[in-house]
Amino acid sequence: MAATQVPGATVASIMSHPVVTAAATETVAEAATRMRDRRVGSVVVVEGDKPVGILTERDMIRIAAAGADTSNDSLSEWMTANPDSVASDEAVSDAFASLAEHGYRHIPVVDDGVLVGLVSMRDLMKIAQIQPVERAAAEMPKGLEGVVVADTAVGDVRGQEGFYHYRQYSAVDLAEKRTIEDVWHLLFNGALPNVSERDDFIKAIRPLRTVPDEVKEILPGVAGLGGTDAPPLDMLRTTVSTMGVDLGFRPWLDISPEELYQQGLRICAVVPTLLCALYRLKHGMEPIDPHDKLPYAANYLYMMQGEEPEPDHARAVEQYLISTIDHGFNASTFTARVITSTGADLAAAVVGGIGALSGPLHGGAPSRALDMLDAIGTEDKAEPWLRDAVERGDRLMGFGHRVYKTDDPRSVMLRGVAERLGGPKVDLAKAIERKAIEVLADLKPGRQLYTNVEFYAGIVMDTCGVPREMFTPTFASSRVIGWTSHILEQAADNRLIRPSANYSGPPPPQPVPDAN
Ligand SMILES: CC(C)(COP(=O)(O)OP(=O)(O)OC[C@H]1O[C@@H](n2cnc3c(N)ncnc32)[C@H](O)[C@@H]1OP(=O)(O)O)[C@@H](O)C(=O)NCCC(=O)NCCS
């Protein structure tokens, strides 16, 4: 980012002040609360007017990861002592150089030993805004591929390595070792829960799964719209919007971070119930209320199928759900963050995410991969079928990925889950996968096309009795946790997302023809 060369601009003209401060004797928890309430990314630790340390959001993640006792540990134990600083009359470009060189996101501004302000990457981005846009626009690839548009501590994808993570943990390891409630806690609160935190979290979310009576009443009407093949995500979109109105959600700018967090819990908890109720109503069945005793995944299958699932089916679906909670800055996550950046309410941002996910290029393939297996039928027909399809220019469903140019780690994990479940479809899928990769390597050399998440997702869900029309909705039910984590993060450090476009129409201004 060579974006901060505004002639004559000094740090004083862009710094934030007054600064959010704390005493070294205060606890980490007190500082975290202050950061959250004041919606800032750091606190400067002071003795009188003098800065003696700094604690940032990044430190908070480090502290959470270390499992520290934040309500007892004092800031002096965790802060960066004697932080570098800049003077208020320094050029903005020098402050930028200092931030960029050291990887800092915040530097105290100090004149004669006295703290007078704080300059952050965010302040510098404000200056970057007034750059002429032509150059920036010309550099942007279509589809924003590879463009970094935000900082996030929620997670990331490393496509070349075939690795993705939620906060600091491998998402696949989490899916192998933890429950979805634990991972939800990790994403919302920044740390995996200990035993008592887990109990508290489960107690908090269980009652939130219930659909309010006023919304329950309108579900049959929504499920009756659009005939039997109305897309479930469209019905979900409608009812999440209704939930937001019913629960009195307001722009997050007008509510406290705690209230926004509670709204996030509510929407994530209720989405599986809404999906199952709409599915059952659509097929002439009575909706089933959430089960008091069942955890997330088992309850999801129970509300869909009407009976308590086999434990290995519940666990397999849970692993799928965990593996799809978040996946970098994909289209629906970006959409949710853009909507949040306007200050709009949480339901608006989730509805936007669902809208983006409903497009076939994003959320729409797991049932198509299974349709392909059905169309092939038996192993001996695989090679000619796949060859014909690729030669015709068709895409093999469940193969290829924009980011992964090696094995998609989710497909590797789900292949294992499918093998554990067993069954004839799994054997056929493995045989077709082998052939498909050979055919793609032969007919599309150098394109690095491997199995993606959707291929085995379909097999796992089918084996666990999830109907095909519920595949993408199942994906949505866990992805809403990821969107909401991003919504909370965006709100905690917001800047309106408002890019520019390169105008490519006829040269303006043309004379407006007279109306006649
Ligand atoms: C996921 C997907 C959209 C990513 O596409 P992308 O990164 O934009 O890749 P491109 O469209 O640039 O494709 C690059 C080349 O690989 C080919 N290709 C990509 N995926 C393919 C597939 N599944 N089957 C056959 N060929 C494929 C393209 O035809 C193209 O070939 P070309 O160079 O001869 O034109 C794409 O791989 C796809 O359509 N897969 C099938 C649908 C699917 O499984 N979706 C779920 C994704 S999780």
- What DSSP letter does each residue of 178-234 carry, written as one string? --HHHHHHHHHHSS---HHHHHHHHHHHGGGGSPPHHHHHHHHHHHTTT-TT--HHH
455 lines ligand 1 (CB under 6 A): no
Q: Is the pLDDT of residue 368 over 50?
A: yes
CA distance 238 to 218: 11
* Cis check: omega of the bond before 272, within 30 degrees of 0: no
452 lines ligand 1 (CB under 6 A): yes
368 lines ligand 1 (CB under 6 A): no
Our measurement of the distance from residue 443's CA atom to the centroid of its chain's CA atoms, rounded to an integer in Å, reads 35
402 lines ligand 1 (CB under 6 A): yes
What is the pLDDT at residue 101? 65
What is the pLDDT at residue 364? 66
What is the pLDDT at residue 506? 95
Strands laid side by side in the 21-22 sheet: 21-22, 42-47, 50-56, 80-81
Q: Please return the burial class of 328, using the count of CB atoms within 10 Å of its CB with bins 0-12, 13-18 and 19+.
A: middle
Q: Is the pLDDT of residue 135 over 60?
A: no
- 395 C-alpha vs ligand 1 centroid, how far in Å? 6
Residue 199: partners with Cβ closer than 8 Å, 6 or more residues away: none
- Residue showing tokens 């005493």: 23
> Between these two residues, 320 and 131, which has the higher pLDDT value?
320
The amino acid present at 493, given as its one-letter code, is: D
Sign (positive or negative) of CA dihedral 303, 305, 307, 311: negative
Which residue's alpha carbon is nearest to atom 47 within ligand 1? 401
What is the pLDDT at residue 6? 47
pTM score: 0.75
Tell me which residues are annotated as active site.
Answer: 401, 454
Cα radius of gyration (the chain): 25
Report angle CA 220, 325, 362 to the nearest 5 degrees: 75
Q: Which of 439, 447, 451 to mutate to test the pocket of ligand 1 (most atoms within 8 A of CB)?
A: 447
CA distance 490 to 484: 10
Q: Is the pLDDT of residue 91 over 90?
A: no
Q: Is the pLDDT of residue 205 over 60?
A: yes
Confidence of residue 70 (pLDDT cuts 50, 70, 90): confident
Please report how many Cα atoms fall inside a 13 Å half-sphere around the Cα of residue 138, on the Cβ side: 4
Q: Is the pLDDT of residue 36 over 90?
A: no
- 423 C-alpha vs ligand 1 centroid, how far in Å? 29
Closest-lying ligand 1 atom to the alpha carbon of residue 369: 44
Q: Please return the burial class of 275, using the count of CB atoms within 10 Å of its CB with bins 0-12, 13-18 and 19+.
A: buried
Q: Enter the tokens of residue 92.
A: 């903005």
395 lines ligand 1 (CB under 6 A): yes
449 lines ligand 1 (CB under 6 A): yes
When mean pLDDT is compared over 3-17, 71-85, 94-108, 287-301, the highest value belongs to 287-301
Q: Mind listing the pLDDT tens digit for each residue in 206-256?
A: 999 999 999 999 999 999 999 888 999 999 999 999 999 999 999 999 999
Confidence of residue 456 (pLDDT cuts 50, 70, 90): very high
Q: Mind listing the pLDDT tens digit for each residue in 331-348?
A: 999 999 999 999 999 999
What is the pLDDT at residue 65? 62
Which residue's alpha carbon is nearest to atom 38 within ligand 1? 400
Q: Is the pLDDT of residue 66 over 90?
A: no
Sign (positive or negative) of CA dihedral 247, 252, 255, 261: positive
Q: Mind listing the pLDDT tens digit for each residue in 378-397?
A: 999 999 999 999 999 999 99
- 143 C-alpha vs ligand 1 centroid, how far in Å? 15
Q: Are 286 and 484 in contact (CB under 8 A)?
A: no
What is the pLDDT at residue 502? 87
- 345 C-alpha vs ligand 1 centroid, how far in Å? 36
Closest-lying ligand 1 atom to the alpha carbon of residue 399: 23
Closest CA to 191 of 33, 70, 65: 65
447 lines ligand 1 (CB under 6 A): yes
| Mean pLDDT computed over 182-202 | 98
Which residue's alpha carbon is nearest to atom 20 within ligand 1? 400
181 lines ligand 1 (CB under 6 A): no
- Mean confidence (pLDDT) of the chain: 91
